[in-house]
Amino acid sequence: MSNFVAEFMIVYDTMTLRELLQSVDAEAYANVPLFEELLNTKPEYGSGNRIEVKLINGEIAVSNVHVGSLGDIVACPIDVAPDLQVTKMQLLDAILKEMSHEGFTETDADDFWDDMMDLRKAKNIR
């Protein structure tokens, strides 16, 4: 199977965020710092949370990506609603969009990432 075909296969199997990050073409995300940050984050034990992806009002909705440290988040399995057919890139785009700082001020985004990278604070959130 060519890389092109594999890149646009519809996601049916449950995989972790780390596995999803490793399965897409990294060149397509060369200008996305969050992609690189997540790709280089060492997975931790996780918290038992699962990233949930479903369709709400015609939009892809992602939840449970703001709980725990980045190491916990990349270790989380991704549950895609059975009726939602998305490619790996569409799925990753939706997750990155949810995790990005859209709607936050630069200060809010900096504070958020400081908290996410501080393991003691991330563990307290749980």
Quick: pLDDT tens for 17-53: 999 999 999 999 998 999 999 999 988 875 678 999 9
The pLDDT assigned to 8 comes to: 42
Q: Residue 122's pLDDT is what?
A: 57
Q: How many helices (H) and strands (E) does the chain have?
A: 7, 4
Average pLDDT, the chain: 79
pLDDT at 48: 75
Q: Give the pLDDT band of residue 2 (cuts 50, 70, 90).
A: very low
pLDDT of 6 reads 44
Q: Check if the beta carbon of residue 94 is closer than 8 Å to that of residue 86.
A: yes
What would the pLDDT profile of 77-111 be if each residue is shown by its tens digit? 999 998 898 899 999 999 999 888 664 556 666 77
Q: pTM of the entire structure? A: 0.71
**Domain residue spans of the chain:** 3-125
Instruction: List helix spans (H) across 1-126.
Output: 3-7, 17-23, 33-39, 70-75, 88-99, 106-117, 119-125
The CA distance from 78 to 83, in Å, is 15
